[in-house]
Amino acid sequence: MSTTPQPDPNAAAKPIEYTDHPLANIFPTLGKDEFEALKADIKANGQREPISIFLTQVLDGRHRYRACKELELEPKITQLHHKTDPVAFVISANLRRRHLTTAQRAHCAAAMLGIGG
């Protein structure tokens, strides 16, 4: 008599894996040294800012998300409402916050028009 394997009730649920939203990828990635500094800070002080998820993708916080994954830490996530305007959110969260040159801002704005407009 064969039996069907049953799930282990004590097994931990596999964490959800998120991908980057195309709008998040408009902005320059951190350099290796900057990313390692972010990762060291999260390791020493914890993740201070949550990662913003829109539907099933990282809209803001892709470097924090990657750092948490590499450190094997459970990331702090904020699930954005499905009616959130992703372009407006990205502008608010990144375009005015980051230290970008005028040319980088123009490039990001043009790219957003192609993706979100």
CA dihedral sign, ordered 65, 66, 67, 68? positive
Residue 33 has pLDDT above 80, yes or no: yes
61 neighbors 54 (Cβ within 8 angstroms) = no
What is the pTM (predicted TM-score) of this model?
Answer: 0.73
pLDDT in tens, 84-101: 999 889 888 876 565 667
- Tokens representing 12 are 């931990």
Query: β-strands 77-80, 51-54: how paired?
Result: parallel
As a whole number, the mean pLDDT across the chain is: 83
Q: For residue 62, what pLDDT band results from cuts at 50, 70 and 90?
A: very high
